[in-house]
């Protein structure tokens, strides 16, 4: 297999070797970092507009790499998915986020991103239950952010798993809503508590087409009893628009970037900007 690999490589342009070598090196570093615990979670406040205060935080992973600097999750999550490293990494994310949230005041929730690959692996539900138990966190304070892509492989199995998680008390948020390939008909079969409207619609909300899509998502979500969160709110104008369209929660740089755990706690203690 090794010889075949070398032969295959010889068909590529010379520069390709560099890319392949780089990916191999990154994969090795990723594997080491998973084993040695080389990641941190940052937390971005989610603001409840009616209460005018944070109702929780989204956990966002960061990889401080010794020579590459901060590697973006957009660059290593896909690699972790391809290599299967997402399973131990995802388990760590759940444990760490639950542990942190158990120290937060009141009823603040933590929202954890779940990769479709991680979700579909057997043992996912146990990983969630284990993380909650180890942290002593009430299931009601954990929210899992999933995307429509979990429905592609085996929609029936995914829906069953979501029902089981919800019956534990865990909340389900549909992330990046509006960007996937799903049709609206999925919404009828898919159990969820929250819809997060993708940043691309919020960025363009001054455009009547984008505003109409936001309005439609709010209408359908509200009809289903879901909370609607606007992602990526950066300006006062965008905030006014999403409020006007009926979003009940907002997240974005206008309020705060993702913060290290200690700074996230400091944020809770001071009033929101709205
Ligand atoms: P996402 O789940 O949609 O997360 C929101 C992303 O938007 C985050 O980028 C956040 O920092 C960024 N963001 C928040 N507010 C604003 C804003 O006002 N303006 C702009 N321009 N950006 C904003 P980040 O942390 O780089 O994460 C990127 C993606 O990587 C996430 O998108 C998610 O898909 C994935 N990801 C991050 N952390 C995890 C994780 O722990 N597990 C998994 N499976 N995926 C993760
Ligand atoms: Ca998310
Ligand atoms: Ca999102
Ligand atoms: Ca996104």
Q: Which residue's CA lies nearest to atom 3 of ligand 1?
A: 176
Q: How far is CA 33 from CA 40, 74, 105, in A?
A: 11, 16, 31
Q: Is the ipTM of this complex over 0.95?
A: yes
Angle at 165 between CA 160 and CA 171, to 5 degrees: 120
The overall pTM is greater than 0.80 = yes
Distance, CA of 21 to CA of 15 (rounded, Å): 10
Give me the mean pLDDT over the 223-235 stretch: 96
CB of 100 within 6 A of ligand 1: the answer is no
Q: Which of 116-130, 131-145, 170-184 has the lowest mean pLDDT?
A: 170-184
pLDDT at 2: 38
Euclidean distance between CA atoms 243 and 213, whole angstroms: 15
Ligand 1 within 6 A of CB of 93: yes
Q: Is the CB of 96 within 6 Å of ligand 1?
A: no
Angle at alpha carbon of residue 232, lines to 212 and 118, rounded to 5°: 105
Q: Is 258 in the pocket of ligand 1 (CB under 6 A)?
A: yes
């Amino acid at each position: 297999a090794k010889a075949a690999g070398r032969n295959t490589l010889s068909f590529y342009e010379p520069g390709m070797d560099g890319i392949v070598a780089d990916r191999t090196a990154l994969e090795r570093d990723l594997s080491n970092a998973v084993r040695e615990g080389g990641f941190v979670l940052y937390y971005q406040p989610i603001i409840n507009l009616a209460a005018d205060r944070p109702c929780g935080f989204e956990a966002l992973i960061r990889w401080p790499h010794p020579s590459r600097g901060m590697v973006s999750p957009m660059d290593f999550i896909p690699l972790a998915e391809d290599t299967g490293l997402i399973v131990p990494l995802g388990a760590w994310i759940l444990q760490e986020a639950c542990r942190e949230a158990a120290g937060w005041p009141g009823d603040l929730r933590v929202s954890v991103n779940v990769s479709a690959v991680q979700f579909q692996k057997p043992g996912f539900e146990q990983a969630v239950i284990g993380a909650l138990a180890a942290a002593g966190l009430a299931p009601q304070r954990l929210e899992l952010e999933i995307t429509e892509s979990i429905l592609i492989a085996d929609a029936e199995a995914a829906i069953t798993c979501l029902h089981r998680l919800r019956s534990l008390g865990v909340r389900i948020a549909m992330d990046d809503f509006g960007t996937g390939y799903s049709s609206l008909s999925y919404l009828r079969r898919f159990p969820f508590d929250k819809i997060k409207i993708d940043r691309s619609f919020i960025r363009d909300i001054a455009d009547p087409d984008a505003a109409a899509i936001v309005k439609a998502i709010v209408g359908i979500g509200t009809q289903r009893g879901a909370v609607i969160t606007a992602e990526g709110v950066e300006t006062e104008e965008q905030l006014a628009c999403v409020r006007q369209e009926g979003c009940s929660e907002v997240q974005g740089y206008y309020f705060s970037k993702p913060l290290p755990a200690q700074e996230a706690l400091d944020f809770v203690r001071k009033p929101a900007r709205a």
